[in-house]
Chains A and B, each alone.
Chain A
């Protein structure tokens, strides 16, 4: 517990309890984010996502690694969910309702509001369309959501006595947050997905400069560096405008939440400015409903939207109309937002089939499309023929514009965040392995920060080394204190007791010794009892002054004080011992010398020499001479 440091060494490392980071998902891949962090005896699960690419047990994180016995309540302190995307929340109902976790779950208000519909949507697709065995039911989702505790941005939540979490704005999607977690003096940030540049509807990630041991960050675009969004926007608008001017139809496949709103705000602005009258349609009710969510959760949107919403809510789209299926083959130009984003099925596929063969039309593709989807096929080169299924082949003649609007930060943004937070250690998740390796190298070489990119089911142990820097050597005398789960620090010795809340322990030596009084006062009465009484009385009165005089003679210059009952020299004090059995009495009274008087003295270690000197003086006292 205690160490004392003196002298010239400026920095020392003290081994302490490590932070253990078990990556259950999104290790060197994109999908099923799930990281379990153990620090100072607390165990927190960040995100509980599912991998959409798999349809077997691999779609869920391997929960058995958290607890062999399956007693997750004991094994985990809490779960923290960063945002409502399925690769971050998809496995949560399964974990709580099927696996039986009952502990607290934290997420932001918008995430809590939007997650159920996302989960339900997913469940429907899985069960009703694909006919798979369901992982969880609608009731499960409802039950699961009941366990959720919603938090606000920058709200500090004390999960228990030691564990504190706080959400920071992350951009990315509505309600996405990064989570700062602190146990004792160990602190980490788990980012989830985030965006370091603002877009038309969401702001950029925002966090304080914190003292961090570990930063776990996504790295979807670990090597991409994007140019200015202005030029991307201009390109997109130009393409759309050109198409509708030529009488063509524009299909913008998107997912309901996020890009649709951003692109729509962009188009609305442009429509307004250029005074265009061409209709913009939203395909499904879900998207309109999503707009409603955005309107309600205005405080989670970008600065611009927040500033202006009192006069005009940016999500009140003036030009946007609802689309009817019959309009697919209606003549005339239009812009249509349709789900899903990757043209993997649903309405966007239906419209795609109709519109793709015409050269006048335009299809925009999102920045990323999952492998196997039509979007992915269109992206990978100039494909003119697309196989819809075994028998049907579609001749794609329309123009294709690839949008590089992405809600994820690029490599520059990751570097900026790491640099700003300057944690002691970085772990990369949610990315592709080779790119992560590159980024890892950059973080180490440019910023000098150790960085790991563990694979799934690997554990990274961060030795939470404490650095105590001593800058001014003159002040380098102190006591280094390192409490459990707290940062090591140097305190002045006077501060120590105060800090520990302890009383000072003083070691004192005690010695009780007799002084032979044989040759003293022959004239005493013979009545033993009365004389002893008288003796004690008179001795008390007379002997100490006598000793005082003696000592004053012997110890010239010493600070000798006489208090009536005792004599004090520095920490040494001596007094008459009237007890029959004094614990400090080593020599019992000589059997036949009942006249012996006992003196009891105590002193502290500092005055040991002085004490023995005084004792020898007293013992060798020639009382006869008195």
Chain B
């Protein structure tokens, strides 16, 4: 490494010349030495020779510049080579630089020593005498440096105080500023305990409020504030006097021309905790109030200063709030947080101003204003009035998310004076929801809180708008609108507000609310969980005269009264708030209580077993609501808003998804509803092709695929559910008719004959059902019936006019599905154990293989014909009939294991089968293409297709020799099974 030393410094390191004058290091040398010092890889030998060189330079050089750099290098050495720091420290100390002629160098060496000390070296003990004498040295920068760094040298506080006080008179403004900052640092309790001294510091700082330099003035404001607060705290008797005095002094700086000074002044005002009411009120009015003029008194101000004090205080906060600089406005808003606690009258007036600030062009200021309001609300000081609402609710429309969220936080806590403001707020929140749907969760939570805080208002609103909701069933109101959702939440919460109120809210509303369960529970996670919410909702919707009270009394344990606790704590807040004592803690406790108590009843309620029956009813009720809403979207489908429709359907589906936790009984209904939604979705997609605009641009195949899908879905709907009433069945049949009509009304459609046949069959089916009950057929049904009768009677099989069918479409409209009673879902579960893409079943090519299946069947009766369909990669399919008589007798659930034989194994090393259980559709009389051993009718599949992986574990290679492989016991079992299968096969063939 030594060779890397630059020659010049090498020279200066290696050959100390005899003549000290020649020995002074050049700046270049010093620079390269520095680079060596800070490079960690420089070897220690080089470092130590650098150290020696520097030591020599320090001892011999008289050039202040060189000395300066040398000291700097020593400082670097000490910081980069901790091992050297003590010797550096010693060297600098011993070198008596402290007493040298140059104060600048003395200060620099002090700096080196102090920084070594701060890294754990020996502390620097600068005696007071040398400190003072250095301060009085000629160099201004050294002076302010020393004053700034006095703490590092452990100078006694009293010496410091004297020094700082003295130097507040320094002709150099920066020294004055530093001295003031130093004074601020000393304004700690325990440092200065003497009243006169505190007062002295305060008065000196006050003097400097009039300094010509901005930064001195702003330091002076800090000092005045710090020492003023010391004075205020000194003695209880004089507390108000000094507080007023300090307040007036700070206010007088509120109109300073320098932005920094103003910010300091308003920041400092926010630290004052007590001040005479008349002074405080004067800050909000630029006119000096008449009483001040008349009485000649102003807080605790001395009589002689009343006039000037009043004029410096006058309107200072108004000025602060309308300042040109947002920093000042923000600081003013912030200071209002503490000031509003002092006086209720003041807080009321300040609120008027704060509301205006919501119109500010700076986001920071608006946000701060809202935070101040939130603070006021927590202290129960936010007395919102009607005149505020326009401005206040306007911030719910703000483009900025944090502003909106801050506004909502306030709304959660605010106490609204009357129903008008309540309505305005609710409308504002709903507007917010409509314009910014992404805020939904928070908005619901706000609505919940606001409704609970204003139960009476909430209830009256709900009763008013209930009519509006009722209209929804007539198709006037989209049920998925934000507005309805919001109102539902309000209704839920209103009931929780006051236990003793008999609830006038129609119970149906709560069942509506169930449809939004998922969304609501997400919003209310902090209050209750989903189960509790559901329990609560279903409870509410069960009885027409249900009240929260009733709900409480169901159990012996006290539960919902928690809400009363919360509300009583609110009212006590108000009382406390005017007194001005902080009670944040109490608030939290109350909130906790409330939270606890809210959760408890819900959990207890949901643990009741019998409860689930009601829940199920609820599920069905809410399902019906969804069906109602589905019916409402038919016009949308007709007019081709397919995307819109799909979106809405998706949301319904999500709602339905929240009912999964229900009982077995409701599972069927939910599955039915989901299937119905799928049908409608497919219908919407199909319908797109029949819109005038789409006439030319839709491909034939696309429509056929869509129609095919629709048929499949309908078939599933028709055949996979039991317990449907005749009407329901008719509705499904109507949809089937529609599908056929759709097919027939397109010229492009092929196999018209089949479709026609299907149509007439379905129509006759419909007729037979109509004969059974006293059900009025829909227009569409009767029209289709007529047409099908015509086609049947005339030339059967002849191609007929698609336009006739197209005309029929006009008659169709989606009827509302109503679910009552129990619907059972026919479904199957099929598992092939121990089989996945890693673990294959063994097979022997060209020989049948048995596939062990664990099958669970739900709600399947013996009449149903079930088939196992197995499809290979090449789409060749094989069906195996499942004889239900072989497996148990229970209709509801059958669970068994069955080894399904697959005969036509390919000649391959491995292959994949897709296996699935299907059921013959009983109603479809049109036989499909007959296949050997296959089902007679179309199949509806009861489960998802499963993939089964098979591979040739034991087989023959192309030469006919046996392929060696390790056969595990498990494989042996399989082999046995194969053989067994073979035997069975032989038996069945025979």
Contacts and interface: CB of A to CB of B under 8 A. Distances in A.
B286 A209 contact: no
B311 A228 contact: no
A208 B212 contact: yes
B256 A198 contact: no
Contacts of B210: 209, 422
B362 A304 contact: yes
Contact of B359 (A204, A230, A415, A447): A230
A419 to B, nearest CB: 8
A204 B394 CA distance: 28
B331 to A, nearest CB: 15
Contact of B257 (A206, A233, A446): A206
B353 A234 contact: no
Interface stretch (B321-329, B520-528, B743-751, B869-877): B321-329
A322 interface: no
Interface string B292-330: 000000000000000110011011001101111110000
Interface in B239-255: 255
Interface residues of B, number: 32
Given A230-B357, A234-B391, A420 B323 contact: no
Contacts of B356: 228, 230-231, 234
A211 B322 CA distance: 28
B325 A303 contact: yes
B501 interface: no
Nearest to B252: A419
A420 B311 contact: no
B287 interface: yes
B286 A226 contact: yes
Contacts of B464: none
Contacts of A211: 212
A99 interface: no
B397 interface: yes
A304 B315 contact: no
A429 B124 CA distance: 63
Nearest to B397: A273
A416 interface: yes
Contact of A207 (B211, B257, B315, B391): B257
A548 B321 CA distance: 88
Contacts of A229: 322
Contact of A269 (B255, B361, B394): B361
B308 A447 contact: yes
B519 to A, nearest CB: 27
A245 to B, nearest CB: 14
Interface string A190-231: 000000011010011011111100000000000001111111
B783 to A, nearest CB: 48
A217 to B, nearest CB: 15
A419 B313 CA distance: 13
A412 B315 contact: yes
Given A208-B257, A420-B257, A233 B314 contact: no
Given A204-B324, A420-B257, A446-B308, A233 B359 contact: yes
A209 B315 CA distance: 22
Interface in A401-441: 410, 412, 415-416, 419-420, 422
A304 B361 contact: yes
A430 B25 CA distance: 69
B308 A225 contact: no
A308 B1 CA distance: 56
B311 A446 contact: yes
Contact of B311 (A200, A227, A415): A415
Interface string B321-344: 111111000000000000000000
Size range of the chain A interface in the assembly: 35 or more
Contacts of A226: 286
A233 B318 CA distance: 14
A209 B311 contact: no
Contact of B256 (A302, A412, A420): A420
Contacts, number: 72
B395 to A, nearest CB: 10
A206 B256 CA distance: 9
A169 B942 CA distance: 83
B404 to A, nearest CB: 13
A210 to B, nearest CB: 8
Nearest to A206: B257
A586 B353 CA distance: 95
Contact of A198 (B286, B308, B314, B323): B323
Nearest to A211: B212
Contacts of A269: 361
Interface in A502-538: none
B321 A228 contact: yes
A314 B962 CA distance: 89
A445 interface: yes
A228 B362 contact: no
Nearest to B211: A209
Contacts of B308: 446-447
Contacts of A230: 321-322, 353, 356-357, 359
Nearest to B327: A303
B219 to A, nearest CB: 15
B212 A228 contact: no
Contacts of A415: 311
A392 B447 CA distance: 60
Interface string A251-278: 0000000000000000001000100000
A231 B256 CA distance: 24
B64 to A, nearest CB: 26
A198 B287 contact: no
A416 B255 contact: yes
Contacts of B391: 234
A330 to B, nearest CB: 31
Interface in B17-71: none
Contacts of A209: 210-212, 217, 257
Contacts of B319: 197
Interface string B389-402: 00100100100000
B287 A225 contact: yes
A469 B391 CA distance: 55
Interface string A283-323: 00000000000000000001110000000000000000000
Residue of B256, B257, B325, B391 with highest tally of chain A CB at under 10 A: B257
B314 A412 contact: yes
A572 B505 CA distance: 120
A543 to B, nearest CB: 48
A203 B323 CA distance: 9
B346 to A, nearest CB: 16
Interface in A337-385: none
Given A225-B287, A273-B397, A198 B322 contact: yes
Given A209-B257, A269-B361, A420-B255, A197 B322 contact: yes
Contact of B286 (A227, A302, A304): A227
Contacts of B287: 225
Contacts of B321: 228, 230
B257 A203 contact: no
Contacts of B257: 206-209, 420
B397 to A, nearest CB: 7
B392 to A, nearest CB: 12
A521 B931 CA distance: 175
Contacts of B325: 303
Residue of A207, A420, A445 with highest tally of chain B CB at under 10 A: A420
Given A230-B356, A273-B397, A302-B324, 17 more contacts: A204-B324, A208-B212, A209-B210, A226-B286, A227-B286, A228-B321, A230-B321, A234-B356, A273-B394, A303-B325, A410-B286, A419-B312, A420-B256, A445-B307, A446-B307, A446-B308, A446-B311
Those 10 A-B pairs whose CB atoms lie nearest each other, nearest first = A230-B356, A198-B324, A416-B255, A412-B286, A209-B212, A225-B286, A303-B324, A203-B324, A228-B318, A225-B287
16 contacts: A204-B323, A204-B324, A207-B257, A208-B257, A209-B257, A211-B212, A225-B315, A228-B318, A228-B353, A230-B356, A230-B359, A273-B397, A302-B324, A303-B324, A412-B314, A419-B255
